[in-house]
Amino acid sequence: MNLTKNLLEDSISDSTQDTTLAHQNTSLTQDTVRVAIIGAGGIAYKFHLPELTRIPGVTVTHLAGRKETRLKTLCERFSVPHWTTDPHTLFTNPDIDAIVVATPHPLHVSFGIEALRAGKHLLMQKPLCADMSEADRFLAGVEKTEKTVMCLPHLGAEIYAIKREAEAGHIGKISAAHCRVSHGGPEVYYAEILDAFGEGEGGNSGEALWFFKSGEAAVGALFDMGVYAASVLVSTMGRVKSVMGMVSTHDKPTELEDTATLLLEFASGAIGTLETGWCDPAKTYCLRLHGTTGKLCAPGEAGASATRWEPGSYTREDTPSLPHPLDATADSRGSAHEHWIRCIRERRQPELSNARLAHHVTQVLLAGLESANTGRRIELSSSYLTGFVENDTK
C-alpha cells in the first residue's frame, strides 16, 4: 500500500546479512524473555500487556507509541520500565529479545521486517497486511531467520481438536465447511479503549474511527474480522484453490465493506463459506465441518467447546443424530502469548499461527475483495506449501 511503500524500501537484503542478524541475541538472559511492544493503543491495553505480564519468566521492558500520555498510562498500569516515541530504537537494543507489533495494520509488515533484520523473535498482530507484495516480502524474511515468528490470530483448543478429528477421518470425507466471525464494529471496541485512556466517550474520537477511513485502513471488515474465519478454515481444511466474494456496506459510516461473504474451493475439492461483518452487535462465532459420516461443530453442545455429531441411522430419516462432545483439554496451547513464549523457548515455529498460514490467509482475503470488485471467480496460483503445519509438540 502507498502508506507503507516507502517504509519497505529497506527490506531484508542479502542472505549473508540476514544469517548474521538471525544469530544475534540467541541466548535469553537467565531464561527470561525480554519483550518490547510497538503500539500503545487498545490492543496493547486489552490483550498484549495483560497476557504477557502474567507469564512467569517474561518481562515487558519497553513500550513504543505515538502518544506520551498513553505510554505513561500503560507503563504505570503494567509496570513497564521504559517507553519511547521512536520504535526504531528498540530494534538495536541488545536487551530486548522479542518484539510485539501491535500497530494499525498498514504498519505491521514494515516493523515486522525491521524486527527480523535485527534478529528478534516476533509476534505480529492480525491481519498481517493487505498487500500481497508485502506478504511475500515478509514470508521471505521469516524463512531466512531462525527466530520464532507468530502471526495472529491465535487459535483455541477447539480448533486443534476439530482438526485432529477431521484428519483422523472421524467424519468421513469432508464436503463442506462454514465459519462466521462477526461483531458490532470497531467503534464498540474503541468506546472502552477511549474510556480507559480518559480520551472521551465511546467512539466519537476521529482516531477511534480510523478503521472506517479508506485512506488509513485500506480494508474493512473482511480483513479486520474475516481474518479469524479465514484462519480457522485454512487451519482445518487446508489450502484454498479459488475464491468468490461479495461485500457490502449496510450500516457503518465508511467507504469500506462492513459485511462480507466468501465462497471458497479448497484443494481437497470441498466447498467452504466464510461470513464476517461489523453489523452484528450480538456477536457470532461458529464453525461447521460437514462429512460423509458426521459433522464437527464449534461451539459444541451442552457447554462443550466442540462436538462431533454422527448419524443415528443411515436408513431412517427421523432418527436423531448423536452428539459426542470433544475433550479439547489436551489440545490447548494456552493463551496466544503463552504459546508464543513456549515456541521461543523450544526454538520452533507455531504449528498453525505462523507466517505461512498468514501469507495464505492474506491471499484468500485479497482474492475475495478482487472477486467482489470484478464479479469473477479468482483462482489462487501460489507457492503456498500445503505442509505448513509443523510436526512438533505443543
Enumerate the domain spans of the chain: 2-147, 157-333+362-379
- Concatenate the DSSP letters of all residues of 250-290 into one string: SSSSSSS-SEEEEEEEETTS-EEEEEEES--TT-EEEEEEE
Distances (CA, A) of 5 to 9, 118, 343: 7, 20, 31
Q: Give the pLDDT confidence score for residue 196 in this predicted structure.
A: 85
At 255, list the grid cell: 467507504
What is the per-residue burial (b if ≥16 Cβ within 10 Å, else e) of 48-76? bbebbbebeebbbbbbbbeeeebbebbbe
Helix (H, G, I), strand (E, B) or coil at 177: strand
State in Å, rounded, how far the first CA of the chain is from the last one. Answer: 36
Read off the pTM: 0.88
Task: Say yes or no: domain 157-333+362-379 is CATH 3.30.70.20.
Answer: no
CATH superfamily of 2-147: NAD(P)-binding Rossmann-like Domain (3.40.50.720)
| Strand order from edge to edge, sheet including 271-277 | 322-325, 307-310, 294-298, 284-291, 174-182, 271-277, 259-266, 240-248, 378-379
Examine domains 2-147 and 157-333+362-379 and report if their fold is the same.
Answer: no
Helix (H, G, I), strand (E, B) or coil at 63: strand
pLDDT tens string, the chain, 394 residues long: the values are 332 222 222 222 232 223 233 333 443 344 899 999 999 999 999 999 999 999 999 999 999 999 999 999 999 999 999 999 999 999 999 999 999 999 999 999 999 999 999 999 999 999 999 999 999 999 999 999 999 999 999 999 999 999 999 999 999 999 999 999 999 998 888 888 888 888 865 444 555 577 887 777 778 999 999 999 999 999 999 999 999 999 999 998 888 889 999 999 999 999 999 999 999 999 999 999 999 999 999 999 888 999 999 999 999 999 999 999 999 998 999 999 999 999 999 999 999 999 999 999 999 999 999 999 999 999 997 655 444 443 333 4
Cell numbers 485512506 correspond to what residue? 215
Helix (H, G, I), strand (E, B) or coil at 390: coil
- State yes or no: cis peptide before 127, omega within 30 of 0: yes
With contact defined as beta carbons under 8 Å apart, do 360 and 243 qualify?
Answer: no
